[in-house]
Structure formats: C-alpha cells, structure tokens
Chains A and B, each alone.
Chain A
Amino acid sequence: MSEKRCGPTDRVEVRDYQIQVVNEILDSFRNGKRNVFVSLQQGSGKTIIALLALCNLVNEGYVNSVLILIPRRILVDQWVTKAQEMFYGLGLLRNPTLSKMRIEQIRGWLKHTQALGIVMTDQSYQRYIRKDYFSESDFDLVIVDEAADLVVARDFIEGFRMSEYLSGLEKWQTRKIFLLPYHVSEKKIRAMVSKFGKESVLIRRIIEDLPTFHYTVNDPIVIGDPIINTFVDALDEYYKRIKVNVNRILTKYSVEGYRENLETLLNPKVLEKLKKIYGVDDETLEQIKTLITKYILIQHLKKWFLYSNREELSRSILASQFEVNEWLRTEDKKLDKLAEVVRDYLSRDYKIYIFSQYVSTAELIENYLKEKLNLRDRDITLITGLVEDQWSRLDVFKRAGRILVTTPVLDKGADIPLRKGVAIIFTPPSSIEKLFQLIGRIRGGEITFLAYKGSEEETMNNVAEEIRRSLAEASGEKYGLDRFI
C-alpha cells in the first residue's frame, strides 16, 4: 500500500475521461479558480470524479477537512457507504444531528478520529451556519453533490436566486466542486456560475461511450369520469375569468409584463413597483392580491380533483357541496384504473415505480393498492419525505419489493434500477426537467401515464410526445436518455 492517505480501492475502475476531468478540476484550482462546476450525464461517475479530486488534494496536503453537501437525508448514508466501498481513507461523519449531539461532541469527533470531514444535507448546513457552529475556516474543500437546485427560480422578473438552504456558500473563499447532471439548462447553470463570481469555471460535456438506457413511452391510459370533467371545466372557466380580470387591470394601468406568470403579482416588491411606477391605487392592489390568491387556489383545486387528493378535498368546504360530496362517496376511478394496470404489470413480473407529486396521494395509493390487490407489506413500499426510515425502505424495495410508491423525495441521486420495470406517473411533476430526473432513476424500462378523458388526456399526450421526441433525438445522437438526464 502506498503512503497516500486516501485513494480508490480495487472496486473502482477509473476511466480515462474521469482522469481527464479530475485533471481539469485540479488545474482550475491551481490557476486560482475557487468554484468548479462539473456537469456530466448521469452514469458518468461524477461522484468518483469528485472523490478522485478530493483524494488528490488530500494526498498533496492541500485538504485536511472536507464538507460534502447532499440534497436529501435519504442519500447521505447511501453516498457515504458507496464512497467508502470505492475509496480507502475516507473517514466521514454522517449527517450529525444537532438535536442528538452537541456541537462540541461533533467537533471532538472530527478532531480525535482524524476524520476527513462531514457529509450532511443542505438543510443541516443551513442550520449549522445560522448557529455559527461552522464557518469557511473549518473546511479546505466543499463538494456539493446534485447541485441542480443550488439556485432556484424565483420568478420571471428576478430570475434565479440562491437556494435558501445554501445561501452564504457563494461568499466562502474555500475551494468548491459542484456536481450536476447534464440536463440542467444552460440558463440555470449560467445563473449558478454568476452567483459565484469570476473565480468559477464550468466543465460541461457529453461522454460518448457510456451505456445507454432504453425507454418505451406508452400512450396515456385514459379514464372516463364525466363528473371530474364537470369540476375541472368549472374550475378552468373560473381560472380564465380571473386571468381576464387581472389582465384588464394591468391594461388599464398600462402595466407591461407579469402576464405570463401572474403569481409574481403577489410579490410585495412587485406590488410596490405597481404603486410607484404605474400609480395603481391601494384598493386596486388589494383587488389584484385577492384575484391572484383565488387564481392560485383554483389551480390547486383542479390538481386535487385530477390527482385523487381526496384526503385534502374531504377536509375542505368543497366536501359539503352536494356534487363533490356525492363524488367523494364513489370509488376513485383513477385509483381503480391504477390497480388494474398494476395487477397487469405484476402478472408479467414487472417491478413498478409509482410517482405522485403529493404525499397524501402517495399514501392513498399505498393503502388502496394494498387493499385492492391484497398485497403483503413487503410487496409495496411507500417512501415520502414524512417517513423516517427512507433508506431502509428503499433497500427493502430493491431487494424484495414489487411496488414502490414515492414522491419527489427520490428525484435526485437515488438509484432505483428496475431491470424489467415500469414507471407509472400518477401525478406528473411540476416540470419536464423534473420528469426526466425521475425517469432517470429507473435506468430504462416502460413509462406510463394515467389521465382523465378530456383536458388532462390532452396534456398527458403532449407530455408523452415531448418525452418520445427527446428520446428519439437522443437515440439519433446515440446517447440514450442520458443526453437529457
């Protein structure tokens, strides 16, 4: 064994392009850059690249203490375990919890065990920094994995801003490596880099010899429920009316912009601007606020109806309205169809990944399928942000489970290869970017959407078409879906 403090074990097969990227990172640091953004496809081994760079810096004596930031709690254990399997000498403290350990204990642990650093979630980082428990002087290097949400879109007017969780990091003089998937838009990456100033560099490319994943995007499965259409049409009509009213007010005061994203009009700064620049009076501003609040609420309700959020609906005043009340007493047709589709896939020995944007819908799906299909506990796994043992549950699903029901909690970093599998999108995520992210989790297989006949059917057809188009484009370029993930 060499005298190096850390390095890759025999388990890691380091590829040429990885060595090349590592050298670029190290060169950037040598040339005085402090922030290196690495944007490569999923499966290209971004984490290995970051760890190789880390080991190099440690062995050369530039780094004694590293801070590694991971977006979700569920990923911390997975990340450290994998890292320690692949690299020797990586003594890392996993997400120390302030409620369980005092900061003095954490610092003592770091000092006396000769640990190389800490791996924690972005949220924990925020808490530590707010309490002044750690500062930039404690670390020689920061690695931010899955950094796509380092900046979040605030609105169309102000563009991107630093995520609440990681704000402050841009001011640290410590060297940093940011890892993000290739599919993140240029615009967003530019916003990230600009937050970190001139001492930043972006390494972004497509690696050509990576294995491709094959996906089949099925036509959406259409469900008929005329009552749902009545509700959705009424909500749509109301929604349009509000939009027209707001636009009328904006036109009256010759206000330009804002029309593409009316929610922006709730921003106190925007309201202030309307008052000062366009002379909108207080009463009209109040009227705008009321209209936009309703406008948001209507979109909200529409999704509750479309995505079986019966739990929330039954606790709202709508549950007392006679038609909704009647509908709530009937069996949910979308859930019923889902059970039918799941039964069919199970009979063909598929592993099934069901995605819902909402926790309450995911819980409902788990209960419904368990009862309807008479499933054993082991067969179906629910993972949401509200369950404590997310990692153990994921492990159960990977080894022995048949159905995974989950929310955006798994949209980043977690590998869920299904071999023979299907992703059923019960509730689509909020953007195409997120949809690609979640499809990328399963590493190939079928993709199926469920949609009510009518406007949702149209939307889902468009989404399916968009994915197909992207896939076709990708296969033409021989990069598989990785071109976009």
Chain B
Amino acid sequence: MDLIALSDIYGDIDALKDFVKTLDTREKDRRVFVLAGDIGFTLNQQEYLQIFSLLAHSSNYVLYVPGDADIKNLNINLPNVINLDRNSFSLEIDGIRLGFLGLGGAPKHSVREDEPLPNTYDESNPIVKDGILTSLKINLEKIMLTNPHYLILVTHSPPYGIADRSTPITLREIVILEEILLDADYKEEKGKRAAASPRRLGSKAIKEFVEYYKPEIHIFGHVHKQGGKCMREGDTCFYNISHFSLMPYKLTGRKFLTIKISNERKFEASFDSFVTKELYFRDFLEKYL
C-alpha cells in the first residue's frame, strides 16, 4: 500500500494534473492520498472540486485536513474523500489496518496578524486548546476500537518544536532582499514585522497530544521552509511535507512524500519532487528555476 502525502497545493491544478499522470494507474486501489491542508487558494468551490475529483479518481481514498487558507467545511461530496479535521477514519488494504485522525487549520500565532485567513485557532486560549485536545482524544479512542496496525495523525500545523522553525534564509543576498521587502511592508503596517523573526510556529496542543499518545506517523505541512524534514522521536516519525505548489518557493516546491507500507510493522518513507529527473543540470536549472 502506498500513502502519497501532499501539502500546500494552493490550487495548483496544472501541476497536480501533471503529477497524477506520472502515477501507475494499476496501483490505484492500493493508493491513498493524504492532504495536509492549504489545498486551494481562491476559496472557489469549483477549484476544490476539481482537485479532489482528480485525486479521487486516481486512488482508493483521499483523506484530508483543511489548512489555514482553506475554509473549515469544504463540503466535498465524493464517496472516497474523507475530511479528517477533528475526525477519524480507518481503512484496510492488503490486510493492513490504518487508523487516521486529524486536525485542520493553524494556530493564530503562526500566521501574520493582518492576513484574513479563514481557518485559524487561538490556542493561547485554554478553552480552545482543551477543545482541540479533547477532540483528538475522543477520535483516538474511536479509532483504537478498530485495532489499527498504524496510527497516523494528519494535521496542517506542525507540533511545536518539530520542523516548525520559520528561519530567514541565511545568505546575505537573501537577507538583503527580505529586509528590503519587509521594510516596505513594515512601513505600511507594523504588525507584519512581527512574523518576520525566526521562531517556532508549531502548535502546542498538537505537541502535547503526540507527546502522550504517540502515533507511529505524524504528517503535517504549513511551515514551508522546513518542508522535506523527517524526524523521529521515540516511536513517532514526523514528516513536514510542505510544499507541493510552485509557490511560494520554486526551489522547494513540487514536493511529495511516499510512504510504502509493506506489512504490519514495516514502512518506508521517502521524499521526492515532481520533476523530470533525467534532465542535465543546466537544462534542469533552465526549466525549474
């Protein structure tokens, strides 16, 4: 069974179409797509439908959580498309049972104050944080009734402290570039500057949950600059899978994660980019930068 995880697609339907074409149609029934949020860009329902239909036709299931840029209820009525936001779902392929649970949106502190994003939560409010934890725990309990071989948590936000640092790129040229742009922003609105310093953007509620309930796999996106990182802590493997879209950085876009699950105890995960790998270096630069 193959789990193909994508995040931060931002409505890039053309890239997605090209990507899907590269997949082996014979493997469709053994394939599950996992989308870790920020699926659309314009909040246009038609755009979402297009994306989900495309993926639903190329796989057994499409499991998703909405990101901070998506609305909470995407209202996708396709039979094999499941919203994991504060929800759980179990499936069995080739005798391997997978239990999924999820949380969409992103903590307020991880986005710019002035950006009107539709799906954020303020976890500094204890009631909100408790609500998140309670929902995750209830869904965990439900999913454990199916006795899964793997417990997989899908969130849009990283847990606090893991692949969640928003670092400025260290090269002087980029610093100059960012300084110039940020300075221009700053003069317009001071609030924007606050999001420019390096800091941890992950969710403390999610961190608390994974620390105690230890899913085998945790898939998330959101913090673009940490995309492609995989880390292991205890029994949990963490994957920041952002970002699939060519925006905001061409250099780190087109990314996806494949998790091949061969039996009840063994899986292999690898990151890849959706590009023509055989191009010579010069041609590659020409085409993709």
Chain A interface residues (CB < 8 Å from chain B): 154-155, 164, 230-231, 234-235, 237-238, 263, 266-269, 293-294, 296-301, 303, 314-325, 357-359, 386, 430
Contacts and interface: CB of A to CB of B under 8 A. Distances in A.
Contacts of B229: 315
Nearest to A270: B180
Interface in B161-181: 165, 167, 169-174, 176-177, 179-181
Contact of B177 (A266, A316, A318): A266
Nearest to B184: A268
A235 B285 contact: yes
Nearest to A314: B228
A318 B275 CA distance: 9
12 contacts: A231-B281, A267-B180, A269-B184, A300-B169, A300-B174, A303-B171, A316-B251, A317-B250, A317-B251, A317-B275, A319-B273, A320-B272
B282 interface: yes
A325 B167 CA distance: 25
Contact of B277 (A267, A325, A357): A325
Interface in B221-242: 227-229
Contact of A323 (B179, B255, B272, B281): B281
B interface bracket (residues with beta carbon within 8 Å of A)? 35 or more
Contacts of A318: 251, 284
A296 B177 contact: yes
Given A263-B177, A298-B289, A315-B252, A230 B281 contact: yes
B252 A317 contact: yes
Contacts of A230: 281
B285 A238 contact: yes
Contact of B284 (A293, A321, A386): A321
B145 interface: no
A155 to B, nearest CB: 7
Contacts of B167: 359
A263 B173 contact: yes
A322 B280 CA distance: 8
A299 B173 contact: yes
Given A267-B180, A430-B172, 20 more contacts: A230-B281, A231-B281, A234-B281, A234-B282, A238-B282, A238-B286, A238-B289, A263-B177, A266-B181, A296-B174, A297-B250, A299-B173, A300-B171, A300-B174, A314-B228, A315-B252, A320-B273, A321-B277, A357-B170, A359-B167
A323 B284 CA distance: 10
A293 B254 CA distance: 19
A237 B284 contact: no
B117 to A, nearest CB: 24
Contacts of B181: 266, 268
Contacts of A297: 250-251, 289
Contacts of B19: none
Contacts of B279: 321
Interface of B: 165, 167, 169-174, 176-177, 179-181, 183-184, 227-229, 250-255, 271-273, 275, 277-282, 284-286, 288-289
Contact of A322 (B184, B228, B278, B282): B278
Contacts of B173: 263, 296, 299-300
A301 B169 CA distance: 12
The listed residue with most B CB atoms (<10 A of its CB), out of A234, A314, A321, is: A321
Given A297-B251, A317-B253, A322 B174 contact: no
A323 B279 CA distance: 9
A316 B251 CA distance: 6
Contacts of A319: 273
Contacts of B284: 318, 321
B176 A263 contact: yes
Contacts of B277: 320-322, 325
A316 B252 contact: yes
A316 B285 CA distance: 12
A404 B277 CA distance: 39
Contacts of A300: 169, 171, 173-174
Contacts of A324: 281
A230 to B, nearest CB: 7
Contacts of A323: 280-281
Given A299-B171, A317-B288, A321-B275, A266 B180 contact: yes
The listed residue with most B CB atoms (<10 A of its CB), out of A230, A263, A317, A319, is: A317
Contacts of A325: 277
B12 to A, nearest CB: 14
Contacts of A155: 176, 180
Contacts of A314: 228
A213 B176 CA distance: 34
Nearest to A293: B177
A303 B228 CA distance: 20
A216 to B, nearest CB: 28
Contacts of B227: 315
Contacts of B183: 164
A322 B277 CA distance: 6
B179 to A, nearest CB: 8
A142 to B, nearest CB: 23
A228 B229 CA distance: 24
B255 to A, nearest CB: 8
Nearest to A237: B282
Contacts of B255: 317
The listed residue with most B CB atoms (<10 A of its CB), out of A164, A324, A386, is: A164
The listed residue with most B CB atoms (<10 A of its CB), out of A164, A269, A297, is: A297
Q: What 4 A-B pairs have minimum CB-CB distances, sorted nearest first?
A: A315-B228, A430-B172, A320-B273, A317-B273
A324 B271 CA distance: 15
The listed residue with most A CB atoms (<10 A of its CB), out of B173, B227, B282, is: B173
The listed residue with most A CB atoms (<10 A of its CB), out of B250, B251, B273, B280, is: B251
A230 B289 CA distance: 17
A9 to B, nearest CB: 39
Contact of B285 (A234, A269, A315): A234
Nearest to B228: A315
